[in-house]
Structure 1
Amino acid sequence: MSTNAAPDRPLLERHDQLEALAAAATAAGAGSGRFVLVAGAAGLGKTRLLAEARRVAARAGFAVLSARGAELEREFGFGVVRQLAEPALSALDPRRRAALFAGAAAPAAAVLDTVGGAPAAGDFASLHSLYWLVANACKGRPLALFCDDLHWADEASLRFLAYLLPRLDGLRLLVAGSARPGEPDAPRKLLDLISADDACRVLPLTPLSPPAGAEVLQALLPGTAHPAFLAACHAAAGGNPLLLRELAETVQLRGIAATAGNAERIAGLRTDAVGRRVRLWLDGLPDAGVRVARAVATLGGEATLATAAELAGVGLPAALAAVADLERADILRPLPADGTPARFGDVTDLERADIPRPLPADGASARGGAGAGPEQGGALPPLPGGGASGRYEFVHPLVRTAVYEGMGLAGKADWHRRAARLLAAGGAPAERGAAHLLRIPADGDPESARTLRRAADGALGRGAPDAAVAYLERCLAEPAGREARLELLTRAGTASTLVDVGAGVAYLREALDLTAEPRPRAVIAYTLGRALSYTGRNDEALALLARAEGWVPAHDEELRRRLIATRVNMAMYFTRHGAPARAAELAALRDLPPHESAGGRMLDCVLAMHDGMAGDPGGVPRAERGIGDGLLVREALGDAALHGGWATLLAADRPGAMGLLDAAVAAAHRTGSQFALTGVLTFRGMGWYWRGQLAEAEADLRGAIRAAEVAGIGAGRPFAGPYLMLTLIEQGRLDEAAATMRWIGVPDPAPPIGPWYLYLDARAALHHARERHADAAASALAAGESFARHGFDNPAFVPWRTRAALALHLLDRSAEARELAAESLRRARRWGAPRATGHALRVLGLLTGGPEGLDRLAEAAAILAPSPARLEHATALRDLGSALRRAGRRADARTHLAEALELAQVCGATVLARSARAELRAAGARAAGRDRSGPRVLTPSEYKVAGLAALGHSNRAIAQRLFVTPKTVEVHLSSVYRKLRVTDRRAMAEIVNGWPEGGEPVPAPRPIG
């Protein structure tokens, strides 16, 4: 009896799951990508179910690629991804491989260690390039990726699956995985992120019912088993199919008859049924069989016969006999040799796939077929072993665990040590040997340290910092000289800031203590100070950074300004000392001559942010100097200093600000990290919200939140969360806004230190939308108190006064309300930006009423008309039209209300559009508003897509240019056709080619009043 025949047995009580997998394959084949996760305890049949799904996908014409998580390879960066890709890529000729790695997929070559791949400089760049590799692969032929045992997968691969999830639509791609809930040491956060995603269909597996369990047992036991015996076996195994089979095997090995009288004996066999059965078999095998089983267990449960034989210390003939014994014992099974490896597609498939070349910088057309990506020569290095026909694996992970745990602690260490040496001698990739070194104590072997350092270099080059940290941690356990240890500590600390900031602090602190030279101490202190801030130890960070400034050599002004910028930026949000205590230093810093370096530009941006939030318009030219030429995007993309430059220019309504952020987003996709992308998308989302482009704002802010969750970045919550709340409120999605507020996770009351004024302001807006006016007033006033505590009072950033004024007015506290609104207008006029000034004028006009109020509303609309602040302009037009209607000027009212409705609809502001439509009807309008077409009715993304399509670029080329999916481009083009009232690209191009270049259509000024 052998479970090797498992595929021939019927799959009991899994009909619903099989149907769901088949339906997912059908949808994926039609271009609607699907992700399915089979979840259940060990032994419930997850692997068997995926095997059935693989057969379904293969019969449907999918290219099928498979991988499996392994305990030994949890730290192997992108290990599961590489298992999926390497066998297929090794079968491709250079032409096909070049087509797959064309365009945005090129950096994936570094992730997969292919020849000629450019290094991937950040973890996000790696994820983005892998997405495009998959998109290229499934264009010509549907692709199915099967990932078993994801609870043992490496975190980099799980991050890729989490990145892929929201981008499935439009791909002919099926992703199916399996995982055990509650598995110890599993990357729970990432698995939860995947399983909780709306795009993921979770298929839970439950134990078999007693009748199904009896059917399994009766097929395995000789003769007719007594029902009482079958019931006892089912109860002992808990309905688990694997344990039922193991019990049946043990019963036969022990010669227990399946009678009613023997039913009571089953209870004694239920504990460790797998281990008991494996030990019984191993005890009866020759020593060579035991050693080969242990060798395969050491190598991770899958190995070539030659490698296992060498590690076991037995000759190849003895190894062949041993694996035959282990197959008969139902311990090992050969990996199927069912033909050539799966291919990504035929040459003709790739030629039809319209895989783009990178677009020229000048925007010229790049139409055509397969792009000229890097040619790859030779086959990829395979996972340990070689060809499929000589590879063996355990019949189930629990069987491997039983063999492995039977080796004892000392035995396991000895086997892993020998495996690491064997792999190193055979020229295997460093990470293969490092995986074994992670499981043994330090032994002082210099070769071990070299292997671990090479493995860390490889992991960092692929954008897998978590794997690099694991290797560096283990390397630090080996003896090393002072200089070598200092280098390892610095590298481990820097890499840990992207993975586990707390661990990074410990490494960097030790590195600082080991460093004697002043400048290296200052460099380490810079990284350590930021890491301390990420863990909430801001006072400690500020003190360290201040000391470090004294360690900088007199000639190194770049490093000095970088340290000052980091300290001042941190103090802006987290210092416990009031703004007056910083005033003298800030004045001195403003008087410093400009310094054309990254550190000098960082300081410019930080001072610009401080001055801008304090309401000083002098911060705007400083921000332009700091960020305008793109130096910081090239050299410090992930640094928080950039945020200050962007925010100041956005608050000042500078027209070029969004273009700077577009360039930063592009850089983050090409070379950046998840941390960098979180910041870039947050501030671009804020800019879209301030401009009233709500769909764009929501997309960016949700992208920032997703990146933060995938990378475990908590620092983005108080920034991205509040602006997403405000965006959702404008669309009337109050329950979603409340859910976002809970996600931010701020305690009540909000802490006195930190940027919680954004959260309090958004909470006030939510209370106002729900007509909880007292709560709205209290939250708005609390936001103002928090904002002032940091020395800030610019209504362009936090309009707390007008928010409180509207609530107080509804509470019959109109005098207080008007006073707050008037002060807000005074400060907005000093700042001088149209959005803030128009907003304050509008609110004060509403609260004043009468002719004076009407004049203020008209002035607000006039100021806002030429600005990019569409939503604020629409709101001013709505309020002006309402006031004119109440004053009896119905014709004038209808003009402004119709314009307000049109703009509100373009912005996606559902609540405002509903209000404007109601006011229009009250003003006697016969229609709901004017129906217009042209660039002003398009969103910025639609505008960009239309312009590129008019130049002749394909959907995939546009998607790569704009860092979106091809499906998103398709959706945008459909919307453009509808809005422009055309049916094809040629007609669209005739309209679009007359528009000005650029990605943000701005409405022309209109007379008001």
Structure 2
Amino acid sequence: MANISPGSHLRGRAREQEVLDRLLRDVHGGHSRALVLRGEYGIGKTALLTYLAGQAPVGRVVRTAGVETESEIPYAALQQVCAPLLDHLDRLPEAQRGALTTAFGLSRGKPPGQLLIALAVLGLLAEAAADEPLVCVVDDAEWLDGLSGAILASVARRLHAESVALVFAVSTSATAPAQANAEYLAGLPELRVDGLGDDDARALLDSVLPEPVDPQVRDRIVAEARGNPLALLELPRGLSPAELAFGFDGARSASPASRVEEDYRRQIAALPADTRQLVLAAAVEAVGDGTLLLRALERLGIGPEAAAPARIDGLMEIGARVRFRHPLVRAAARRSADAAELREVHRALAEVIDPSREPDRRAWHRAQAAVATDEEVAEELERSIGHALARGGYAAVAHVLERAAELSADSTAHAARLLVAADAYLTAGMPVRVPQLLDIAGTAPLDPKRQAHAERLRAQAAFALTHGRAAGPRLLAAAQRLAELEPTAARETYLWALGVALHAGPLAGEDLHRAAAGARAVPPGTDAVGLLLTGLATWVLDGHAAAVPELRRALRTLSEDDDLRLLWLAAPASHAVWDDETWYQLSERAVAHARATGALSLLPAALSSRAGALIQAGRFADAAALTDQIDALGRATGLVPDLCPALTLAAARGREAEARELIDTVLRDADAYGEGRLNGMADVAAALLYNGLGEYPAAMRAAQRAAGRDDLGVGNWALVESVEAAARAGETGIASRARERLSERTRSAGSDWALGVQALADALAGSPGEAEDRYREAIEQLSTTRLDLLVARARLLYGEWLRRAGRRTDARDELRAAHHAFAAMGAEAFARRAGRELQATGETVQSRTNGPRDELTPQETQVARLAVAGRTNAEIGAALFLSPRTVEWHLRKVFTKLRIATRRELAAALRVQP
């Protein structure tokens, strides 16, 4: 089934061929398409991919396939996809170009981030397809290495107008781990490939039977194959006349895949010894490099003529690239070899790999060639960590360290390396791997310090998976052990324990005060961890005012990249002390650092914090792009996604149905994971939503609930919402009390943010005679911050006050400015509120429903907003994870819908409607 010429008709596959033909027509029409073929082993997915490739223009097809033995080698598959396209590399921006060449070992540089590499691959495909459509096919995607799979899936979701087809084939009969490995493809368009009907199955079987067969035996073969084309084609090969006459041996497996692989193993076993070893070497070599393979074969004493029998049997082809007839051939070769044969092949490959260029790959093959424990090879693996980090990030480092541990001659070294590997898995965003490694490490005698480290890692992994309070007591116990052994590690562990308790909120019970008290008993540190721990412990034990100087000092020390791992606590701390600049800058740096190093444990917090900062800055389009990435990251890693940025964005936009649904989900997560802080954040979002909608009693009730919990940072937001809601609801007593509580927080901070929100609260709930001065002060102070959403809200409140004072002309100026700002952001409810106030002054406000902007899709709106901000197509593409060609395509549609011709007209066109 694999040898299909262009235009071939596949028996029983008319429906599937029509889907692929339609996909190609779309791609030739200037669109891009992604598709996932799903079906069991041998069902014909490879044949369909070959058919698709045959229909594409000559030379415009790139292919790769996942291989089980390469599933832990970073970028193995991605490099095969990109290698034929590297002539277009110079057209990419420098950062993207450097990311790809570093990942592929072609140059040296800082470890590239997964998302940057994905953007570079997207750009490379787009550039390659600039002149003629491009078809990329990926077979056996369940066996792609994790980084290649995640990146290609990300690219598939972002393809749009590049004339690129990206088609995956995934087996539904793979092992459970392999199935889980393909979860990154969830959500892409799918085509289910089922077995052939009986008539087609019989006809296909008849085409390969060597001689007449008893009809009952033929029916049995058809029944056992269950319509699986590869089984029908391969099962009769090599069977004796007796087997064809009397049927199969009853011991045969019921799985078509295993039977087909068994047949390939039988064919390989019949080959000459040198050819068998050649096939095995080709199966083990990672990237299909024909030149490297021939050099390894020379080491094994095998000449290139040994490939002839394998070619004659149609098992494989050797040229510049090595290709197998079917991925099961590779699997069969690997599994049919004994341990000694495998070690010999790995040894030969290690000897011919240039250690100066690819020390990590050489060390990996040496590790696979090791007979037993080998401390020299284990140390070589450790030395290659820097190259592994540059090539594949922390995930690659974790795999290398795990193998180094297996080779360790000493039990203490074995356990120590496993602990470091577990830490690397945690940093790589793979906490599910941590407990197993710790269990193995625990079988060796661990000194008290390592025992405490292991307990800390176990608790950190549990928190990463659920964000629940259950990790708190474990962290506290580990911190107490470390306090007498290693004060630096104790401080970091106490910080984690305290952070978990702060996230649990009221659900933490006494854990919060126990963690804070324990932290205070440890000698204070002067680094970022120590200062942040001191500040948070002070906040818990002594109150907000006493903690502000300590927290400000801690935030100022967060200058090193390693300190960014503290963002999950530093961000709420910056809210607590009203420091918007630190919040904005830290979140920006954290996202860049996490992407550059592949630190997926940092990326969720970085994306969430950055999205929140962008929402308050009025950059809703940018924030929406990050919430999409948060969702995709959760699906790809299995980590619990933070829904709060998406919820806050929906609330700020005034989309009630969407916000209510997210609120319900966040509250369920709070109960399920014991993360009480989510309750407060959900209530603050609800207060923001209802203040925008003008439903002030509902906003007041939500804000009061959040203010009552007084979670770190969240309490400040709650008090701001509470003052506005209560004042507008006519609850002057509640507004006044909220204003007084707010004053206690803002006086000790003294920042422009703090002074601005306090002035606004004073205008709303303070002395009526001072209201106008306080409104003006609030706008002046807040205008020096990055909080454009809050500035627009202050102008709206001032304009409402002016209108109620009968000063219509003055009110129009403030309301018009607020209305335009809200409209530009996409704060729809606040814009409608400002529009109603403007109408009350006598000014005409065009109805939103009549304007052309309603026709824009969310993606088009994002592109338009960034274009208004002066971003180039390449910059917009990088921000929204799109290719520049797709950005241009969106802009053409925007221009048509808004009836404009240039970017200069965009800003005015988008401001027409609220």
TM over 0.5: yes
- Partner Cα separation in structure 1 for residue 768 and residue 893 of structure 2: 39
Work out which of the residue numbers 538, 549, 572 in structure 1 matches 2:472: 538
Contact preservation (8 Å) 2:594, 2:602:
yes
- Partner Cα separation in structure 2 for residue 400 and residue 905 of structure 1: 58
Contact preservation (8 Å) 2:34, 2:166:
yes
- Partner Cα separation in structure 2 for residue 464 and residue 404 of structure 1: 27
1:906 aligns with 2:903: no
* Change in 2 beyond 3 A, CA 1:466/1:663: closer
1:148 aligns with 2:128: no
* Structure 1 residue 179 displacement after superposition: 0.7
Work out which of the residue numbers 616, 622, 631 in structure 1 matches 2:559: 631
* Structural mapping, 1:448-597, within 5 Å: 449=378, 453=382, 458-481=387-410, 484-485=413-414, 488-497=417-426, 498-501=428-431, 503-504=433-434, 510=441, 530=460, 534=464, 536-552=470-486, 568-573=498-503, 576-577=509-510, 595=526, 597=527
Identity, % of aligned positions: 22
* Structural mapping, 1:683-832, within 5 Å: 683-714=609-640, 717=641, 720-737=642-659, 740-741=662-663, 744=666, 746-747=668-669, 749=671, 754-761=676-683, 764-765=686-687, 783-787=706-710, 794-796=715-717, 801=722, 821-822=738-739, 825-827=742-744, 830=747
- Partner Cα separation in structure 2 for residue 570 and residue 645 of structure 1: 14
- Partner Cα separation in structure 2 for residue 284 and residue 972 of structure 1: 53
- Partner Cα separation in structure 1 for residue 108 and residue 418 of structure 2: 29
* Structure 1 residue 905 displacement after superposition: 0.8
* Change in 2 beyond 3 A, CA 1:70/1:800: same
* Structural mapping, 1:240-639, within 5 Å: 240-247=228-235, 249=237, 254=242, 256=244, 271=254, 288-289=271-272, 292-293=275-276, 296=279, 299-300=282-283, 316=303, 319-320=306-307, 322-323=309-310, 326-327=313-314, 332-334=315-317, 387-388=320-321, 391=322, 393=324, 395-398=325-328, 407=336, 412-427=338-353, 443-445=372-374, 449=378, 453=382, 458-481=387-410, 484-485=413-414, 488-497=417-426, 498-501=428-431, 503-504=433-434, 510=441, 530=460, 534=464, 536-552=470-486, 568-573=498-503, 576-577=509-510, 595=526, 597-599=527-529, 602=532, 615-616=544-545, 619=548, 625-628=553-556, 631-632=559-560, 634-639=561-566
Contact preservation (8 Å) 1:512, 1:524:
no
* Change in 2 beyond 3 A, CA 1:761/1:432: same
Q: What letter corresponds to residue 914 of structure 1 in structure 2?
A: R
Alignment correspondent of 1:49: 48
Deviation track 1:238-284 (CA, whole Å, cap 9, x = no partner) reads: 22222232355578855858xxxx9x999998945676677679779
Q: What letter corresponds to residue 84 of structure 1 in structure 2?
A: V
More displaced 10-residue stretch of structure 1: 894-903 or 145-154? 894-903
Contact preservation (8 Å) 2:43, 2:195:
yes
3-state SS of paired residue (1:926): coil
Alignment correspondent of 2:159: 168
Alignment correspondent of 1:681: 607
* Structural mapping, 1:130-209, within 5 Å: 143-169=134-160, 171-181=162-172, 183-189=174-180, 191-196=182-187, 200-209=188-197
Q: What letter corresponds to residue 421 of structure 2 in structure 1?
A: A
May I ask how many residue pairs the two structures share in their alignment? 878
3-state SS of paired residue (1:756): helix
- Partner Cα separation in structure 2 for residue 525 and residue 271 of structure 1: 45
1:966 aligns with 2:884: yes
- Partner Cα separation in structure 1 for residue 655 and residue 869 of structure 2: 32
Work out which of the residue numbers 95, 104, 114 in structure 2 matches 1:112: 104
* Change in 2 beyond 3 A, CA 1:301/1:659: closer
- Partner Cα separation in structure 1 for residue 256 and residue 273 of structure 2: 19
- Partner Cα separation in structure 2 for residue 108 and residue 578 of structure 1: 46
* Structural mapping, 1:908-923, within 5 Å: 908-921=826-839
Contact preservation (8 Å) 2:607, 2:630:
yes
- Partner Cα separation in structure 2 for residue 82 and residue 801 of structure 1: 55
Alignment correspondent of 2:76: 79
Q: What letter corresponds to residue 58 of structure 1 in structure 2?
A: P
3-state SS of paired residue (1:652): coil
Deviation track 1:336-358 (CA, whole Å, cap 9, x = no partner) reads: x6xxxxxxxxxxxxxxxxxxxxx
* Structure 1 residue 759 displacement after superposition: 4.2
Contact preservation (8 Å) 1:155, 1:190:
yes
- Partner Cα separation in structure 1 for residue 714 and residue 572 of structure 2: 18
Alignment correspondent of 1:935: none
Q: What letter corresponds to residue 207 of structure 1 in structure 2?
A: G
Structure 1 unaligned regions, length at least 5 = 338-386, 932-937, 993-1009
- Which is richer in helix? 2
- Partner Cα separation in structure 2 for residue 916 and residue 685 of structure 1: 25
Q: What letter corresponds to residue 175 of structure 1 in structure 2?
A: L
Contact preservation (8 Å) 1:650, 1:687:
no
- Partner Cα separation in structure 2 for residue 723 and residue 517 of structure 1: 41
3-state SS of paired residue (1:145): strand
* Structure 1 residue 422 displacement after superposition: 2.8
Work out which of the residue numbers 219, 227, 233 in structure 2 matches 1:239: 227
Deviation track 1:119-146 (CA, whole Å, cap 9, x = no partner) reads: 4165556555555555665567654432
Q: What letter corresponds to residue 478 of structure 2 in structure 1?
A: L
TM-score, reference length from structure 2: 0.77
Q: What letter corresponds to residue 501 of structure 1 in structure 2?
A: P
More displaced 10-residue stretch of structure 1: 601-610 or 143-152? 601-610
* Structure 1 residue 41 displacement after superposition: 1.4
3-state SS of paired residue (1:65): strand
- Partner Cα separation in structure 1 for residue 895 and residue 577 of structure 2: 33
- Partner Cα separation in structure 2 for residue 798 and residue 241 of structure 1: 67
* Change in 2 beyond 3 A, CA 1:908/1:609: farther
Alignment correspondent of 1:367: none
Deviation track 1:832-885 (CA, whole Å, cap 9, x = no partner) reads: 667678778889998x8xx98898699557624652544345445556666776
* Structure 1 residue 155 displacement after superposition: 0.9
* Structure 1 residue 539 displacement after superposition: 1.9
Alignment correspondent of 1:70: 67
* Structure 1 residue 780 displacement after superposition: 5.5
3-state SS of paired residue (2:349): helix
TM-score, reference length from structure 1: 0.71
Contact preservation (8 Å) 1:295, 1:415:
no
- Partner Cα separation in structure 1 for residue 266 and residue 227 of structure 2: 28
* Structure 1 residue 685 displacement after superposition: 1.6
Superposition CA RMSD, Å: 5.6
- Partner Cα separation in structure 2 for residue 478 and residue 957 of structure 1: 46
More displaced 10-residue stretch of structure 1: 166-175 or 223-232? 223-232
Alignment correspondent of 2:856: none
- Partner Cα separation in structure 2 for residue 298 and residue 515 of structure 1: 40
Deviation track 1:152-211 (CA, whole Å, cap 9, x = no partner) reads: 111111121233244434545432211113521445455333221xxx322221222334
3-state SS of paired residue (1:179): strand
- Partner Cα separation in structure 2 for residue 285 and residue 148 of structure 1: 22
3-state SS of paired residue (2:625): helix
